[in-house]
């Protein structure tokens, strides 16, 4: 390439940037603006009736883990908060595990259908997305509540005499989240399995691997990027879930999302709510970082 | 070569699909493959070569018949318990493992001690000359190198039999020739029985101890390359391997009578006389014995020339004679010649 051509090319690259500058600025503001507001609010003082007072304070961040006793002024670990965090993480991990256990065979099944049928199966998997999340969650509620479909049928069939009481428990939230997020696990798993060369199964069996060994040493390592992508796609929204724990968990079994909402509503502690939001964001970013690390490691030619 | 039998296929039938639409990929196939031999399955596309190989490997179950390995019935045995390894046409290397890990995979799955896995892997890397590539990912290798990894991976567990399904078809001509030599060397060095699939007759002739020629799910003939070339049992084998002139004949007391009325001494039985183009001799017309023919065309091939001929009744024949440059005679279209057969060249075969 001649010097003239090079400078020409450089110029056109620069022009490209200039042309897209307005759009990029808008995108940047839209992405960072609300976040910045939340970040700033987390360092302010709560107002009397919600809102904030413009006075610097770390109470919001401290309040994530500690409470100040209103009588003697001592600071203690906030057990109630820890319970909520632990429930959120536990339920999210369990949801990820269950959606994987159900999603992997499903994705495998779809990926091994004749190509003409695959589109139809994928289409069926995405049907729940057509309905509003709230309505889907109420549908689950309808199925599992004490007088709901499941219990009516089981009692009617004489299999149980007392309804199985799972509504308003962690179990109900768990079932609901697994149902809601299952497609998010199936789709990336399908994409990974679809790319998997089925000849490798025969190569594995041919080289003395049992079915379990083929699964462990051939299939899982190769579809790992899909497993990680699916897990992140399920884990992240599970952690911030709001509707499902609200509808199926009753008022008591809060998750982080409900807890944040509480601070902006009845709790009237916007800085704490803002700090909790930022903390959730940090956890999610840490999870994504692990994802990027894990998924690039396998493909790194020098690693 | 010992006469011990490594693999026996007994009256194998393999049908795909059910009922009226069922397709017999293998139709009553029986072969014995001797221990330590380089055995080739040769035939056109779709004749059932891969299917037979997959039955031996255990990826498919026969509809009827039995497979024996070293005398033991393995028909029902799953592939991971058969002492047989496969080199796949597409290589099927594990993309998430390095070259060395690929080669050690079989040993690891067999639960061999780590030291043995390591030692054998190193030995195999040396055998296929890939020592320098041990820690590379297989996607970073050339086609020929991947081919070697596939070979080493299949040889590492020291199988009783190595199955190779058109392992060279993805390589360019030069590399293919190199790998042919390499394969033959590996087979001699390891002493392992090779069952090799190809649809390339030249590859089959140059590499094999014995060849099974297949067509439409049936084994047409089994024999050493020379047997098959010089004594094909039917028209399919004769035409699939090398070039052949086919002449319709009627058997008489004196020999085979051609449509021209000439009678020729020929071995074998049947109604078709075959003779290879290079076994025809062309002499001046009217001198001595020979069939009267007219040259209808000459094609120059460098090392030799192909002379197209018509007998007195119009039956066409092709002769391959040395090129005039090498001291052979030259021919022109329309020239009358006398065609003689080399002794023992003419054979009768079934249709
Ligand atoms: N899984 C299968 N289902 C249905 N038919 C099959 C299957 N596998 C093979 N066949 C059919 O069996 C016949 C023999 O196939 P096979 O793959 O053994 O041929 P081949 O000799 O290996 O051919 P090629 O040289 O093209 O590889 C073909 O007609 C093929 O269509
Ligand atoms: Mg084949």
d(CA B84, CA A208): 9
Query: Does residue B262 surpass a pLDDT of 60?
Result: yes
Tell me, yes or no, if A218 comes closer than 8 A to chain B by beta carbon. yes
Which residues have a Cβ under 8 Å from the Cβ of A77 and sit 6 or more positions away? A65, A66, A67
Which of A197, A205, A221 lies at the smallest CB-CB distance from B79? A205
d(CA A242, CA A261): 8
Note the pLDDT of residue B19.
Answer: 76
Percent of the residues in chain B that have a pLDDT greater than 90, as a whole number: 57
Ligand 1 site residues, Cβ closer than 6 angstroms: B 16, 23, 25, 43, 45-51, 199
d(CA A68, CA A74): 6
Give exposure, A22-36, as e/b (b: 16+ Cβ within 10 Å).
eeeeeeeeeeeeeee
Q: What spacing in Å lies between the alpha carbon of B41 and ligand 2's midpoint?
A: 10
Query: Does residue B156 surpass a pLDDT of 90?
Result: yes
pLDDT bracket for residue B326 (50, 70, 90)? low
Which of A199, A208, A213 lies at the smallest CB-CB distance from B88? A199
Q: How many CB pairs under 8 A join A and B?
A: 63
Task: Provide mean pLDDT across the span B166-188.
Answer: 87
Chain A residues within an 8 Å CB radius of B80: 205-210
Is B153 within 8 Å of A207 when comparing Cβ atoms? yes
Q: Where are the alpha helices (DSSP H) in chain B?
A: 49-57, 99-109, 114-127, 143-155, 173-190, 201-207, 225-230, 235-240
Q: What spacing in Å lies between the alpha carbon of A145 and ligand 1's midpoint?
A: 55
d(CA B62, CA B54): 10
Chain A residues within an 8 Å CB radius of B157: 207-208
- State the nearest Cα–Cα gap between B106 and chain A, in angstroms: 4
Instruction: Give the atom of ligand 1 at the shortest distance from the alpha carbon of B41.
Output: 21
Which residues have a Cβ under 8 Å from the Cβ of A175 and sit 6 or more positions away? A140, A144, A166, A248
pLDDT (tens, 9 = 90+) of chain A, 303 residues, equals: 566 677 777 777 777 788 888 888 999 989 889 899 999 988 988 888 878 888 888 888 888 888 777 777 777 777 888 888 899 999 999 999 999 999 999 999 999 999 999 999 999 988 888 888 899 999 999 999 888 888 899 998 888 888 888 888 889 999 999 999 999 999 999 999 999 999 999 999 999 999 999 999 999 999 998 998 999 999 999 998 989 999 998 877 889 899 898 888 888 888 999 999 999 999 888 878 887 787 676 554 433
Angle at CA of residue A269, ends A268 and A275, nearest 5°: 150
Nearest alpha carbon, ligand 1 atom 17: B50
d(CA A200, CA B93): 7
Tens-place pLDDT, residues B9-47: 999 999 998 877 788 999 999 999 999 999 999 999 999
B244-349: CATH, from 3.55.50.30, 2.40.50.140, 2.40.30.10, 1.10.287.130: 2.40.50.140
Q: What spacing in Å lies between the alpha carbon of B163 and ligand 1's midpoint?
A: 17
d(CA B135, CA B120): 15
Chain B residues within an 8 Å CB radius of A302: none
Task: Provide mean pLDDT across the span B83-105.
Answer: 94
User: Which is more confident, B333 or B329?
Assistant: B333
Tens-place pLDDT, residues B263-302: 888 888 888 999 999 999 888 877 767 888 999 999 888 7
Tell me, yes or no, if A213 comes closer than 8 A to chain B by beta carbon. yes
Tens-place pLDDT, residues B180-238: 998 899 899 889 999 999 989 999 999 999 999 999 999 999 999 999 998 999 999 99
Is A207 within 8 Å of B78 when comparing Cβ atoms? no
Nearest alpha carbon, ligand 1 atom 1: B16
Q: What stretches of B199-290 adopt beta strand conformation (E)?
A: 210-215, 218-223, 245-251, 256-258, 263-264, 267-268, 272-275, 280-284
Is B94 within 8 Å of A208 when comparing Cβ atoms? no
Task: Provide mean pLDDT across the span B117-123.
Answer: 95
Answer yes or no: CATH 3.40.50.300 is held by domain B5-236: yes
Note the pLDDT of residue B263.
Answer: 83
Note the pLDDT of residue B328.
Answer: 64
Which of B105, B137, B140 lies at the smallest CB-CB distance from A207? B105
Query: Would strands B84-87 and B256-258 be described as parallel, antiparallel, or unpaired?
Result: unpaired
- State the nearest Cα–Cα gap between B55 and chain A, in angstroms: 12
Tens-place pLDDT, residues A32-72: 898 999 999 889 888 888 788 888 888 888 888 887 777 77
Sequence ranges of the domains in chain B: 5-236, 244-349
Q: What spacing in Å lies between the alpha carbon of B25 and ligand 1's midpoint?
A: 6
- Which residue of chain A comes nearest to B103, CA vs CA? A207
Nearest alpha carbon, ligand 1 atom 5: B16
Note the pLDDT of residue A227.
Answer: 93
- State the nearest Cα–Cα gap between B54 and chain A, in angstroms: 10
Instruction: Give the atom of ligand 1 at the shortest distance from the alpha carbon of B89.
Output: 27
Instruction: Give the atom of ligand 1 at the shortest distance from the alpha carbon of B48.
Output: 18
- Which residue of chain B comes nearest to A220, CA vs CA? B96
- What is the three-class DSSP state of A241? coil
Rounded to 5 degrees, φ, ψ at A287 are -60, -40
Chain A residues within an 8 Å CB radius of B153: 207
Q: What spacing in Å lies between the alpha carbon of B61 and ligand 1's midpoint?
A: 14
Q: What spacing in Å lies between the alpha carbon of A96 and ligand 2's midpoint?
A: 43
Note the pLDDT of residue B1.
Answer: 45
């Amino acid at each position: 390439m001649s010097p003239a051509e090079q400078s020409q090319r450089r110029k056109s690259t620069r022009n490209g940037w200039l042309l897209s500058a307005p759009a990029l600025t808008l995108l940047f503001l839209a992405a960072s603006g609300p976040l910045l507001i939340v970040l700033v609010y987390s360092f302010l003082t709560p107002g009397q009736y919600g809102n904030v007072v413009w006075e610097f304070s770390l109470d919001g961040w401290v309040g994530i883990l500690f409470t100040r006793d209103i009588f003697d002024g001592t600071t203690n670990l906030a057990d109630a908060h820890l319970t909520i965090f632990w429930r959120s993480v536990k339920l999210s991990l369990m949801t990820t595990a269950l959606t994987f256990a159900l999603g992997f065979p499903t994705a495998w099944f779809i990926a091994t259908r004749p190509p003409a049928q695959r589109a139809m199966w994928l289409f069926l998997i995405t049907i729940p997305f057509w309905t509003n999340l709230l309505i889907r969650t109420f549908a689950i509620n309808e199925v599992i509540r004490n007088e709901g479909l499941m219990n009516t049928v089981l009692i009617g069939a004489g299999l149980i005499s007392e309804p199985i009481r799972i509504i308003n428990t962690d179990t109900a939230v768990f079932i609901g989240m697994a149902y809601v997020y299952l497609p998010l696990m199936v789709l990336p798993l399908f994409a990974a399995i679809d790319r998997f060369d089925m000849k490798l199964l025969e190569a594995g069996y041919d080289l003395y691997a049992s079915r379990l060994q083929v699964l462990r040493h051939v299939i899982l390592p190769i579809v790992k990027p899909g497993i990680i992508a699916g897990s992140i796609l399920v884990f992240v929204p599970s952690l911030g879930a709001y509707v499902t724990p609200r509808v199926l968990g009753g008022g008591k079994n809060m998750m982080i999302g409900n807890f944040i909402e509480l601070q902006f509503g009845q709790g009237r502690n916007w800085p704490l709510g803002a700090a909790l939001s930022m903390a959730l964001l940090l956890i999610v970013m840490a999870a994504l970082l692990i994802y990027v690390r894990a998924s690039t490691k396998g493909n790194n030619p020098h690693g | 070569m010992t006469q011990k039998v490594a693999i026996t296929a007994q009256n194998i039938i393999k049908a795909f699909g059910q009922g009226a639409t069922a397709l017999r990929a293998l139709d009553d196939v029986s072969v014995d493959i001797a221990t330590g031999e380089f055995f080739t399955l040769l035939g056109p596309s779709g004749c059932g070569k891969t299917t037979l190989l997959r039955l031996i490997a255990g990826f498919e179950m026969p509809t009827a018949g039995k497979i024996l390995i070293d005398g033991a019935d393995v028909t029902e045995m799953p592939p991971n318990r058969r002492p047989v390894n496969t080199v796949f046409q597409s290589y099927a290397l594990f993309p998430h493992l390095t070259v060395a890990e690929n080669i050690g995979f079989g040993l690891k799955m067999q639960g061999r001690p780590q030291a043995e896995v390591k030692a054998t892997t190193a030995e195999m890397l040396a055998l296929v000359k890939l020592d320098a590539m041990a820690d590379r990912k297989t996607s970073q290798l050339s086609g020929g190198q991947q081919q070697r990894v596939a070979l080493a991976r299949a040889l590492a567990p020291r199988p009783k039999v190595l199955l190779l399904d058109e392992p060279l078809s993805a390589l360019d001509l030069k590399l293919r020739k190199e790998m042919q030599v390499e394969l033959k060397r590996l087979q001699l060095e390891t002493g392992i029985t090779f069952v090799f699939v190809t649809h390339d007759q030249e590859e089959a002739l140059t590499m094999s101890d014995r060849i099974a020629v297949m067509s439409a799910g049936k084994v047409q003939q089994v024999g050493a390359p020379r047997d098959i070339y010089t004594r094909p049992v039917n028209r399919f084998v004769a035409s699939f391997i090398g070039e052949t002139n086919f002449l319709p004949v009627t058997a008489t007391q004196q020999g085979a009578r051609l449509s021209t009325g000439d009678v020729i001494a020929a071995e074998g039985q049947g109604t078709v006389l075959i003779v290879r183009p290079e076994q025809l001799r062309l002499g001046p017309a009217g001198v001595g014995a020979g069939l009267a023919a007219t040259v209808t065309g000459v094609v120059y091939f460098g090392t030799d020339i192909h002379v197209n001929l018509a007998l007195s009744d119009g039956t066409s024949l092709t002769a391959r004679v040395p090129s005039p440059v090498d001291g052979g005679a030259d021919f022109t279209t329309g020239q009358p010649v006398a065609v003689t057969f080399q002794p023992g060249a003419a054979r009768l075969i079934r249709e």
